[in-house]
């Protein structure tokens, strides 16, 4: 299948292990080159906007967009972002209408889609994003695809702890001011704060310890905080409970009624279960939705228990084929509705 072949071509760019196309690096550019070439092969008119986002327009209904992103986390999977782009090109080529977009820097705070909506457009009339679920819900439900109801809001920032450096051998325990011990307590509080709020999650994924000697009491520790919740009020509660100042913040965004309904109808008409689910991950579709673009997302089942941001991320060829089919028919309906 051409989609799988193209996913492999993109996966090979970073040189492995895993997909390695972080935003702003030559590997992301190389992936955009591939996508631009495929768009031209499909007969699309290719444009690059001021932020580096790539758009391939067909002659008809090019104000309805499908697409996703090509940047990855370090050692990412084959499907995250790349599937939505490759499937999007396939769908636009197949139905001969609509446009396919590739956003820059999704993994680092949706830089490309944010730049697009801040600049004020031109924004699409509707946006569909096909994406791997990155979670276990569809696999557990035995459903190959599902439709997203809303995208969680998230906040990212840091917490800083300052102590006093000292000799690990000669400084008695009762006079120490160890920044890492303070940080460790805070990390447990981050977890507790999320556990107490329904649907919330919070993660500390980075830890920077200075001066970083094995025989030196830590003086400065910086930890990252990633906090998410499905409703704005709960996100506020979570941020307050953790006690950090978000640097990036994206409110939760609901997917639009019409494109959601069209995706569901296409799923049901194929005799498949109508599964709807929230997205725990942020996506470009959330940024566009928040800017008023009617947006919807089609999730394709993740295998391996929903593992993602990992080389073991997996979806089957059959599920992908089905998802491309649903996406193409939904695009056709949206792009032909004036
Ligand atoms: Zn993604």
Global pTM value: 0.83
Strands 220-229 and 201-203: antiparallel
Distance CA 193, CA 93 (A): 47
Q: Which CATH superfamily is domain 2-152+252-336 in?
A: Zn peptidases (3.40.630.10)
72 torsion bin: left (phi>0), alpha (psi -120 to 50), beta (else): beta
Q: What is the pLDDT of residue 327?
A: 98
Q: What is the pLDDT of residue 157?
A: 97
Distance CA 324, CA 56 (A): 17
Q: 129 C-alpha to center of ligand 1: Å?
A: 10
The dihedrals phi and psi of 103, each to the nearest 5 degrees, come to -85, 145
Q: 71 C-alpha to center of ligand 1: Å?
A: 8
Q: 186 C-alpha to center of ligand 1: Å?
A: 29
Which tokens belong to 150?
Answer: 């809303």
pLDDT tens digits, residue range 219-272? 999 999 999 998 889 999 999 999 999 998 888 999 999 999 999 999 999 999
pLDDT tens digits, residue range 262-301? 999 999 999 999 999 989 898 999 999 999 999 999 999 9
Strands 220-229 and 207-210: antiparallel
Give CA angle at 108 (317, 301), nearest 5°. 20
Which tokens belong to 115?
Answer: 């730049």
Determine which helix (DSSP H) or strand (DSSP E) holds 234, and give its type and residue range: helix 232-242
Paired strand residues for 277: 148
Could you count the other beta carbons within 10 Å of the beta carbon of residue 232? Answer: 12
Closest CA to 76 of 123, 20, 120: 20
Paired strand residues for 253: 151
- The owner of tokens 């941020």 is 239
Q: 324 C-alpha to center of ligand 1: Å?
A: 17
Q: 132 C-alpha to center of ligand 1: Å?
A: 8
Determine which helix (DSSP H) or strand (DSSP E) holds 65, and give its type and residue range: strand 64-69
Q: 191 C-alpha to center of ligand 1: Å?
A: 24
Q: 60 C-alpha to center of ligand 1: Å?
A: 27
Mean pLDDT taken over the chain: 96
Which tokens belong to 194?
Answer: 């999320």
pLDDT tens digits, residue range 67-91? 999 999 999 999 999 999 999 999 9
338 pLDDT tier (thresholds 50, 70, 90): low
Domain boundaries, the chain: 2-152+252-336, 153-249
Dihedral (C-alpha) 182, 188, 192, 194: value to the nearest 10 degrees?
Answer: 100
Kindly report the CATH class assigned to 153-249.
Answer: alpha beta
Q: 105 C-alpha to center of ligand 1: Å?
A: 10
Q: 102 C-alpha to center of ligand 1: Å?
A: 11
């Amino acid at each position: 299948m051409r989609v799988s072949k193209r996913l492999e071509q993109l996966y090979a760019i970073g040189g492995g292990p895993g997909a390695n196309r972080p935003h702003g690096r030559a590997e992301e550019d190389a992936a955009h080159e591939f996508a631009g070439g495929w768009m031209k092969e499909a007969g699309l008119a290719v444009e690059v906007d001021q932020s580096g986002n790539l758009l391939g327009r067909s002659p008809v209904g090019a104000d309805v967009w499908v697409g996703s992103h090509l940047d990855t986390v370090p050692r990412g999977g084959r499907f995250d972002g790349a599937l939505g782009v490759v499937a999007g090109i396939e769908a636009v080529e197949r139905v001969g209408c609509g446009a396919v977009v590739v956003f820059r820097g999704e993994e680092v705070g949706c830089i490309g889609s944010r730049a697009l909506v801040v600049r004020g457009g031109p924004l699409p009339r509707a946006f569909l994003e096909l994406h791997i679920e990155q979670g276990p819900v569809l696999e557990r439900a035995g459903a190959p695809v599902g439709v997203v109801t809303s995208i969680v809001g998230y906040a990212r920032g840091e917490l800083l702890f300052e102590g006093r450096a000292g000799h690990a051998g000669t400084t008695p325990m009762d006079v120490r001011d160890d920044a890492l011990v303070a940080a460790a307590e805070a990390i447990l509080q981050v977890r507790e704060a999320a556990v107490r709020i329904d649907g919330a999650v919070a993660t500390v994924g980075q830890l920077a310890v200075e001066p970083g000697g094995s025989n030196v009491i830590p003086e400065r520790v910086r930890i990252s905080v990633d906090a998410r919740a499905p409703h704005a009020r709960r996100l506020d509660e979570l941020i307050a409970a953790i006690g950090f100042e978000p640097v990036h913040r994206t409110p939760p965004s609901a997917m639009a009624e019409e494109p959601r309904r069209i995706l569901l109808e296409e799923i049901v008409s194929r005799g498949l279960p109508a599964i709807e689910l929230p997205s725990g991950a942020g996506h470009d579709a959330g940024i566009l939705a928040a800017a008023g673009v009617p947006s919807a997302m089609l999730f394709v089942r993740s295998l391996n228990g929903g593992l993602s941001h990992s080389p073991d991320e997996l979806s089957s060829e059959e599920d992908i084929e089905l998802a491309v089919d649903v996406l193409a028919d939904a695009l056709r309906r949206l792009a032909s509705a004036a």
